[in-house]
Chains A and B, each alone.
Chain A
Amino acid sequence: MGRLSVDLCGITLDNPVIPASGTFGYGYEFAGLYDINCLGTFSFKGTTRHPRFGNPTPRIAEAPAGMLNSVGLQNPGVEKVISEELPKLKKCFRKPVMANVSGFSVEDYAYTCALLDKEEQVGWLEVNVSCPNVHGGGMSFGTDPKAAAQVVRAVKAVTKKPVILKLTPNVTDIVSVALACQEAGADGLSLINTLLGMRLDLRTRKPILANTMGGLSGPAVFPVALRMVYQVAGAVSIPVVGMGGVSSAADVIEMMLAGAAAVEVGAANLTDPFACKKIIDDLPAEMDKYGIERLSDIIGGGHAWEKT
Chain B
Amino acid sequence: MTVAENKPLTREVYRMVLKGDVSAFTAPGQFLNLKLEGRFLRRPISLCDLGEDSAAIIYKVVGQGTAQMAAMQPGEKLDVLTGLGNGYDLADAGEAPLLIGGGVGVPPMYLLAKRLRAQGKAVHALLGFNKASEIFYEEEFRALGCTVTIATADGSYGVRGFVTDALPKSYSYYYCCGPEPMLRAVYKTAKGSGQLSFEKRMGCGFGACMGCSCKTITGYKRICKEGPVLRKEEIAWED
The answer to whether A54 has its CB under 8 Å from any CB of chain B is: yes
Asked if B40 contacts A66 (CB within 8 A), the reply is yes
With an 8 A cutoff between CB atoms, is A156 at the interface? no
Contacts of B201 in A (CB 8 A): 57-61, 208
A62 B41 Cβ-Cβ under 8 A: yes
* B203 near A65: Cβ-Cβ < 8 Å: no
Which of A18-26, A115-123, A230-238, A293-301 has 4 or more CB atoms under 8 Å from chain B?
A18-26
Specify the chain B residue showing the minimal Cβ separation from A27. B208
Q: Are A57 and B213 in touch, CB under 8 angstroms?
A: yes
Complex: how many Å from CA A57 to CA B209? 13
Give A58's nearest chain B residue, CB to CB.
Answer: B201
Among A22, A53, A60, A269, the residue within 8 A (CB) of B220 is A53
Interface of B is mostly: loop
The DSSP consensus for interface residues of chain A is loop
Given A74-B220, A269-B208, A271-B40, A67 and B213 contact (CB-CB distance below 8 Å): no
Is the CB of A285 closer than 8 A to any CB of chain B? no
Chain A residues, Cβ within 8 Å of B200: 57-58
Which residues from B are CB-within-8-Å of A58?
Answer: 200-201
**Shortest Cβ distance from residue A1 to the other chain B in the assembled complex, whole angstroms:** 31
Are the CB atoms of A57 and B212 closer together than 8 Å? yes
Across-interface contacts of A30 in B (CB, < 8 A): 208
Closest CB-CB distance, B217 to chain A, in whole Å? 14
Which single member of A61, A64, A271 contacts B42 (CB below 8 Å)? A271
User: Max chain A CB contacts within 10 Å: which of B204, B210, B212, B215?
Assistant: B210
Q: Tell me whether B214 is interfacial, beta carbon within 8 Å.
A: yes
Q: B209 to A271, Cβ gap below 8 A?
A: no
Q: How many residues of B contact A (CB 8 A)?
A: 25
A218 at the interface (CB under 8 A from B): yes
> In the complex, A208→B220 CA distance in Å?
22
A11 at the interface (CB under 8 A from B): no
Interface string of A70-84 (1 = CB under 8 A from B): 010010000000000
CB-based nearest A residue for B205: A270
Question: Does A273 interact with chain B (Cβ within 8 Å)?
Answer: yes
Q: Is A47 an interface residue (CB 8 A)?
A: no
Using A24-B208, A67-B203, A270-B203 as known contacts, say yes or no to A60 and B81 having CB atoms under 8 A apart: no
Q: Is B202 an interface residue (CB 8 A)?
A: yes
B20 within 8 A of A: no
Q: Chain A's nearest CB lies how many Å from the CB of B82?
A: 12
A45 touches B210 (CB 8 A): yes
* Count of chain A residues with a beta carbon within 8 Å of a chain B beta carbon: 33
Are A71 and B206 touching (Cβ within 8 A)? no
B35, B202, B203, B213: most-surrounded residue (chain A CB, <10 A): B203
Q: How far is the CA of A56 from the CA of B42 in the complex (A)?
A: 21
Q: Does B207 contact A (CB under 8 A)?
A: yes
Known A62-B39, A218-B40: A71·B215 in contact at CB below 8 Å: no
Kindly state whether residue B238 has any CB partner on chain A within 8 Å: yes
B215 to chain A, nearest CB (A): 6
Decide if B211 is an interface residue (CB 8 Å cutoff).
yes
Q: Which residue of B lies closest to A59 (CB)?
A: B211
Residues in A with CB closer than 8 Å to B210 are 22, 25, 45, 54, 59, 71, 74
Q: Say whether B203 contacts A69, CB under 8 Å.
A: yes
User: Is A288 part of the contact surface with B, judged by Cβ < 8 Å?
Assistant: no
Minimum distance in angstroms from B50 CB to a CB of chain A: 22
Q: B209 contacts A71, CB within 8 Å?
A: yes
A60 to chain B: which residues have CB within 8 Å? 41, 201-203, 209, 211-212
Q: A54-B213, A74-B213 are in contact. Are A62 and B206 (CB under 8 A)?
A: no
The answer to whether A71 and B208 have CB atoms under 8 Å apart is: no
**Residues of A near any B CB (own CB < 8 A):** 22-25, 29-30, 45, 53-54, 56-67, 69, 71, 74, 208, 218-219, 267, 269-273
Can you report 18 A-B residue pairs in the complex whose CB atoms are below 8 A from each other? A54-B213, A57-B211, A58-B200, A59-B212, A61-B201, A62-B40, A63-B40, A67-B40, A69-B211, A71-B210, A71-B211, A208-B201, A267-B40, A270-B41, A270-B204, A272-B35, A272-B79, A273-B206
